[in-house]
Structure 1
Amino acid sequence: MRRLAVDPYPMPDRTALPAPQVARRIDPLRAALLIHDMQNHFVGAFPAGSSPVVELVDNIAALRKLARTLGLPVVFSAEPAGLTPGQRGLAADMWGPGIGDEPDAAAIVARLAPRPGEHLLANVRHNAFLRGHLGRLLRAKGRDQLIICGLYAHLGVLLTAADAFMQDIQPFVVGDAVADLSAEEHALALRWAARSGMVCTTDGLLRGLLLHREPKNA
């Protein structure tokens, strides 16, 4: 894959998120968490110790921690290393040959490395549903809401959210737990994501999950 270099930009806060088109509430009994393409190769395009990658990893870690506590399925999608030209298809024209054989390039970043009981799915296209087992896994778990975070907002995140919508799976794109090649592309992706699902903040989603868990007559 052609090596990208992303300039720092501020992670958007709740005031920068698009207005919701529909009112939906996250339900821990219906939801799963998808962590998309948080691999060393992709995360390494961002300057370490700067926005947006600092907030990106922190917020995904917070989502993953609560998801595990509440029993949500945690799913990682990751591009395999060493894909052939036939497996890359037209993506090779846009982005080059893909992840090479560099040590640990295809691995999930250490702080988010998958743990026992979590699911790691290979994806050979930006859309995590396409040519993969994500849809089958969600159906097997009885889940029809999908929390989406990771990289890149205008590619894998947006396309996966749109496909979830087409399959009657409610997408929740976490606006400050995704990142992109620029602030402009990040903002554009969130505006489009709002057309098919909820765009929320990490804090808002965490509160929603915890609120749904509280006793009704407390």
Structure 2
Amino acid sequence: MGLPAIDGYPMPDRSALPRSHVSWRIDPVRAALLVHDMQNHFVGAFPAGRSPVVELVDNIAALRELAGTLDMPVVFSAEPAGQPPGQRGLVADMWGPGIGDEPDAAAIVAPLTPRPGEHLLANVRHNAFLRSHLGRLLRSKGRDQLIICGVYAHLGVLLTAADAFMNDIQPFVVADAVADFSAEEHTLALRWAARSGVVCMTDGLLRGLLLRREPKNA
């Protein structure tokens, strides 16, 4: 099995947000931004120029810009191309050989190309914490909140959020800055993500970050 052909669907709006079970507030001094698997191989499965991919890229770009302004760590996870069977493991049974050697297939989509000072981590499993140094990176930066965006909502995004929670890192899943195989799976992923963190909208998260930033010294 490989990636399915994904039809366009409307990005969820605020009415689709599940009820949060916690009252955590985002804090730019505590938070980092994770952009999960926004590679040409995965994003290319969506119809170009249509929802949800247009909003997906635009909203992630807005989060990334503000994170940079607020000196928050920005981390990109990316599946390596051409993984040998021994590295791919059981993922190959479920999803096939993964990203091949096609030019730029493994690259982050052009509007989000990582910049100097941002972090790019190899992601060999759906969960961005597994077999990576994401946890060590967050601890070294004194960060115990993680904003998660990218693809796919019911796979890497959800599993990463759950692992963050299990490791006492507060996950914030951005409902309109993730995307999935279908609207139904997107909605289901948000419902499950609310069991281990906060599910929010891009505009509300941006406002929260700006409200909580420390005033600069005069």
- After superposition, the C-alpha distances for 1:74-103 in whole angstroms (9 at most, x for unaligned) are 000000000011111111111000100000
> Is the 8 Å Cα contact of residues 29 and 213 (structure 2) preserved in structure 1?
no
Aligned to 2:9: 9
CA RMSD of aligned residues (A): 0.9
Residue 45 of structure 1: CA displacement?
A: 0.1
Q: Is the 8 A contact 2:146 2:171 kept in 1?
A: yes
User: What are the equivalent positions in structure 2 for 1:1-218 lying under 5 Å apart?
Assistant: 2-213=2-213, 215=215
Distance 1:142 1:11 in 2: 33
- Matched residues in 1 for 2:214 and 2:28: separation? 11
Residue type matched to 1:11 in 2? M
Give the distance between the partners of 2:88 and 2:11, measured in 1 at CA. Answer: 31
Amino acid at match of 2:118: E
Letter in 2 for 1:197: G
User: Could you tell me the TM-score, scaled by structure 2's length?
Assistant: 0.97
The SS at the match of 2:162 is: helix
Q: How far is 1:2 from its partner?
A: 2.3
Number of aligned residue pairs: 215
**CA distance in 1: counterparts of 2:123 and 2:55, whole angstroms:** 25
What do the CA deviations read for 1:13-57 (whole angstroms, capped 9, x no partner)? Answer: 111110111111000000000000000000000000100000000
1: CA distance, partners of 2:214 / 2:146: 21
TM-score of the aligned structures, taking structure 1 as reference length: 0.97
- Gaps of at least 5 residues in structure 1 are none
Distance 1:94 1:17 in 2: 30
Q: CA deviation at 1:3?
A: 4.3
Residues in 2 aligned to 1:199 and 1:54: alpha-carbon distance in whole angstroms = 20
Read off the aligned partner of 1:93 and give its amino acid letter: D
Moved over 2 A (4+): 1-4
| Residue type at the aligned position of 2:211 | L
Quote how far apart the aligned CAs of 1:214 are. 6.2
